[in-house]
């Protein structure tokens, strides 16, 4: 008879303001301990549990950071545990300017939409829920 291993589940972290980074990080660390995830697989395991803007942010990190769990978690913590993060995104949204020399109107629209999702994530969630 084969040994059974405990099933451990963790909701993916997407970076929305309604989510709490510290809760996710604590549960993630507990999960890799309980599931006995080896050091060589921990960063891949982290990436699997990220989605949306959190995954996009993770993918922009330097390769050396993405290969070190503590550095990866610190970078994500610094980014998503910032209590002023929404205000930062609002300021960046307000500061966007169209430059016809470097971008098309379509590219600028995509940039505005992307920044608006960061600045108003709850509005995006409400729109999805209403659909």
The residues pairing with 50 across neighbouring beta strands, listed in sequence order, are 13
pTM above 0.75, yes or no: no
Residue 50 has a pLDDT of 95
Burial class (CB in 10 A: 0-12, 13-18, 19+), 32: buried
- SS3 of residue 101 by DSSP: coil
- Whole-number pLDDT of residue 104: 93
Predicted local confidence at residue 6, as pLDDT? 55
Per-residue pLDDT at 17: 66
At 3 the pLDDT is 52
Q: pLDDT at position 15, please?
A: 84
pLDDT in tens, the chain (131 residues): 555 555 556 789 988 766 788 889 999 999 899 888 899 899 999 999 999 889 999 999 999 999 999 999 999 998 888 777 778 778 888 888 999 999 899 999 988 888 887 777 666 545 545 55
Q: What is the CB neighbour count within 10 angstroms for residue 50?
A: 21
73 within 8 A of 99, measured Cβ to Cβ? no
Q: What is the pLDDT at residue 4?
A: 56
Q: What's residue 10's pLDDT?
A: 79
């Amino acid at each position: 008879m084969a040994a059974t291993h405990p099933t451990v589940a963790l909701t993916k972290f997407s970076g929305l303001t309604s989510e709490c980074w510290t809760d996710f990080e604590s549960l993630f660390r507990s999960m890799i301990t309980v599931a006995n995830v080896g050091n060589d697989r921990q960063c891949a395991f982290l990436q699997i549990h990220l989605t949306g803007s959190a995954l996009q942010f993770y993918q922009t990190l330097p390769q050396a950071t993405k290969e070190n769990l503590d550095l990866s978690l610190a970078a994500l913590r610094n980014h998503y545990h910032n209590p002023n993060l929404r205000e930062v995104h609002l300021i960046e949204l307000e500061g966007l300017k169209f430059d016809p020399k470097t971008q098309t109107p379509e590219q600028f629209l995509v940039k505005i939409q992307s920044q608006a999702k960061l600045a108003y994530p709850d509005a995006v969630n409400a729109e999805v829920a209403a659909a």
